[in-house]
Amino acid sequence: MRHNFPILRLALLFILILGFGACASEPVETESPAPEQAEPPAPVESPVFPQLTPSKAQEIMACDTPFVLLDVREPSEFETGYISGAVLMPLGTLRERASLEILDKDAQIIVYCRSGRRSVDAIHILLELGFQNVFNLGGILDWPYEITQAE
């Protein structure tokens, strides 16, 4: 029996190693805190501004209330035709020029472009600069009234 003792020792050691190895490979379950409920992201607030119909814009332009009719297209577009009384201030220059050229931050500003996309961008810029009474006319493509041709 004495001769078998080292073999038994090795066998027991082998079994222990296999047993611990098996335990180590099993996933250890621990109690983890419940995952926090993710709150839905807050909606990005977009400034709200009035959308003018062409007829409402004509009403504003016909009364004695001061207003600025702002065309934010490029000069080449402006030359193809514009709404009478419009001031050309391309969108790319608006941030620099608006505060210098439109001094009254409370003036009514009616903004338009070709299709209505740049006018929305322009209104966001004007609101950031502190202008209060900005109105989106949209695009000159939707203007049903007379358009002045550049000379």
Confidence of residue 4 (pLDDT cuts 50, 70, 90): low
Summarize pLDDT for 49-97 with one digit per residue, the tens.
789 999 999 999 999 888 999 999 999 999 999 999 999 999 999 999 9
pLDDT for position 73: 98
Q: Is the pTM of this model over 0.85?
A: no
Could you give phi then psi for residue 69, rounded to 5 degrees? Answer: -100, 110
Q: Which residues are catalytic?
A: 113
The full 3-state SS of 32-59, as one line of letters, equals CCCCCCCCCCCCCCCCCCCECCHHHHHH
| Max CA pair span of the chain | 120
Which residues is 69 bridged to in the sheet?
A: 110
Overall CATH class of domain 54-142: alpha beta
Domain boundaries, the chain: 54-142
